[in-house]
Amino acid sequence: MNICVFLSAADLDERYTRPAREFAELLGKGGHTLVWGGSDVGLMKVVADGVQEAGGRLLGVSVEFLAAKAREGADEMIVARDLAERKRLLLEKADAVVVMVGGTGTLDEATEILELKKHGHTDKPVVLLNSAGFYDGLKTQFRRMEDEGFLPRALTDLVFFAEEPVGALAYLEESQGIQGPARP
């Protein structure tokens, strides 16, 4: 499975890097391909390292103004003209999406895929990995949107909130009919 991960390129605390590294290792061991923003810095580097070390493939989609930060040695690297094209290519190459911790760029990417799902333009599974409760406030906001009639589909049809990496990958594999490794 090609799993797109939207996440920060910032250097972050262990409470965020630990679950990201754990998810990356699970992804790689599962034989999946990481589709990500292509950067070799911060949390993006942590995830790419983990996937590659665990035997997974790397498919990066960088953008011209960040090309100097693109990871050397990725299995495939595409350089988009601008952020809009990058986002389109990331989603196009992916079978599923995981949203990890991040800033405004990550939030933009997350809301775009959810908007596409809301309107029936994609049925790709989307997981929001809520490491260290980072997205608790967003989860509350989404529930309010659902409760007050702003979402034409159930929130559970749009996104799965996972508290731990193992639950995130299990959900994705089940949604795609993939039998994952036996879990304790």
Percent of the chain with pLDDT over 90: 93
The predicted model gives 18-24 an average pLDDT of: 97
The predicted model gives 143-169 an average pLDDT of: 95
CB distance 60 to 90 below 8 Å: no
Q: How many CB atoms lie within 10 A of CB 109?
A: 23
The predicted model gives 81-107 an average pLDDT of: 95
The whole-model pTM stands at 0.92
The predicted model gives 24-30 an average pLDDT of: 96
Q: What is d(CA 174, CA 170) in angstroms, rounded to the nearest whole number?
A: 6
* pLDDT for the residue numbered 120: 92
Q: How do residues 103-154 score in pLDDT, each as one tens digit?
A: 999 999 999 999 999 999 999 999 999 999 999 999 999 999 999 999 989 9
Q: Sort 41 into a burial class: Cβ within 10 Å, 0-12 / 13-18 / 19+.
A: middle
Strands of the sheet containing 126-129, edge to edge, are 76-80, 57-63, 33-36, 2-6, 96-99, 126-129, 160-162
| Average of per-residue pLDDT values in the chain | 93
Q: Is residue 180 predicted with pLDDT exceeding 90?
A: no
* pLDDT for the residue numbered 177: 84
* pLDDT for the residue numbered 111: 94
